Structures are given as C-alpha cells and as structure tokens.
Structure 1
Amino acid sequence: MQSVRPADELFFIHSFFVTKLEVTFSPEDIVREYQKRGTMENYIKEAKNSFRLDQMNSHSFQVNEVRMMLSLLT
C-alpha cells in the first residue's frame, strides 16, 4: 500500500498493488514499474482514440505498420 498526500491537498491518495512479482523487488521498485505500465497504457489509449490506430484492416504486420506511419504523417 502506498499513501501520498500532495502538497496542497487535505486528503491522502491511497494506492494498493496486488502482484505476483518476486520478493526481491522493493516496494518502491514495484510502484515505479506499475507507474510506467500506466503511462504506457495511456499512450496506447491516446493512439487508439486520436489516430484511429485501433482499426487495422490487414492481417499483415508490415501493411498495418505502413498505414500507421502514413496516418501519423497526415
């Protein structure tokens, strides 16, 4: 469990992590890894919603990659 109180806030923000990671990781390392994962999920969601990259028509990875690059250029 992680509890953080931002500087200008009255209440704490509590975070709970349930994981199967090895005991060798420190709690700070686990929190850092989950924060990285959350950031990456936000990038993926942004790509799907903003650039319509969730609608690929081909089964070929290369064709989809070219279409993605072209849509990012326009």
Structure 2
Amino acid sequence: MNKSRILLVGLVILLFTLSVVANVFAQGEDQHVFNARLLGADEVPLVETLANGHAHFKINKDHTEIRCKLVVTKIVT
C-alpha cells in the first residue's frame, strides 16, 4: 500500500468521524461518547486491505473538548 493510499484512507476516516461528531452536536442529545470500528470493507468504494482500526471519541459535558483515541493495525507503509 503506497503512502498516497494510506493518506487517502486516513482522510476518509477523519472526514467520517468529523461528520459523526457534528451530527451528535446537531441532534442535541446527551450522548457524549462515540465508538467506530474501521474496516476497508466499510468504505465507499470498497478498499481491499488487511488494515483495520477502532476510533473512540468522548465529548465533555460543556461541548468544548473532544478526546479521541485511534488504534489501527496491519497498516503497511
């Protein structure tokens, strides 16, 4: 997997997570934790890769901070 492909996958993941976080704010719910399983098979178009990951986001009660943890495995550079 070349560097541009890795950058593209990372950008897609970032855009997805930002859209989900924005959606949580727009709904005005008290839900402050978001978890996502990250697989190439879930991307559009499909990305054939062994890489996978998990993203965890936690928004504080004042909605002024987002803590995030991103764990990825099997990424080849």
- TM-score, with structure 1 as normaliser: 0.38
- TM-score, with structure 2 as normaliser: 0.36
Name whichever structure is richer in helix by fraction.
1
Between the two structures, name the one with larger relative contact order (CA 8 Å, sep ≥ 6): 2
Name whichever structure is richer in strand by fraction.
2
